[in-house]
Structure 1
């Protein structure tokens, strides 16, 4: 997983040179983004998949990733967490693993609302959110294909959220930085974490992982009741300190 992450980071460095075929793919993607205010369908994501793979993922996903749309009522996982997309490991055959990316059609195409891709940023359009979620799930698939699993098993054993651990955060940062610079499209870096799992944070400036204090609960915007519980827990932690 370390080797796969380093490979992606190096290929997306600002100084990295693009091949002729990659530049052609980038031009097609930029032209495709002009369809935002015109008629386009959900098949646009599937048709442009190979170009996204070529520009941002070193052609590692082609023939190893299945991409599809699913309705929210057909996936119990989405109903519980309200996620915009989901990545599933499909097992390995010989050298390469296979992965499946499912995008939530209800939230991205029917119920979507403009939202910020990062804390404090102005909301972006539904069209851009769709590509941000797509890039997020492609990062999961990239690690699954090259490493056999998208989960960081070492972090999972320590009680952390393995799906969004150190390696994923390094990958999503590299993709987000590159996609913003090349196309003005931010990758979807926001994700939910369970209250009882302390989430590691990635310090972009110093390029290192900062573990969150496991005693400090994560504040979530889920209503006054949850905020009251969170504040009470924080008060108890401070009193014990």
Structure 2
């Protein structure tokens, strides 16, 4: 499970996160939505140990990411589709990740096949389309067979078949009892994929929604999102 508790991040005097708290439970796909500047990327970076919070904590399985001894076995994440070096082949990229966490080559071959890249496994990543790089990133996230999956904009660059594939993959992972957190700007895709949705604005949690309850509200996810964030959109430069 993912637990974010009273998470605050200041850049100078500017709050990127303001006492943000939420949980992401196993067995469901949780969508993570918010306008530009809402704090989604900052939250994910703190969760994955890339940034330090000003106060509060972000825990995975009850521990901060930095204390997880073999992280690929517990957490699979994609924050940037261009993380792989363009001069490496897809297989070499995954082999390097696997060696750092004691994962064998058979697993590398298995995830390459799972994401549909087996036929281009020995091609250089620099020649891949954005959709192919997204698939490679997801292969890396699945490499250690982790219980927690965190993906930021995973359908960018994917064609219709690829979008359907990632949707099916995420729902299958959740059905296996894994914890899945999906950040995206594609409202329609989140509505089709997620079971629960967290909506952020100005670094705070505005609402937590069950997608199944939307018909009862007589509204679409987009309707609810725009109503909640209409006054929460804030465009500002936040250092990385």
- Higher relative contact order structure (alpha carbons within 8 Å, sequence separation ≥ 6): 2
Q: Which has the higher helix share?
A: 1
Q: Which has the larger radius of gyration?
A: 1
> Where on the TM-score scale, by shorter chain, does this alignment land: which range?
under 0.3
Q: Which has the higher strand share?
A: 2
| TM-score normalised to structure 1 length | 0.25
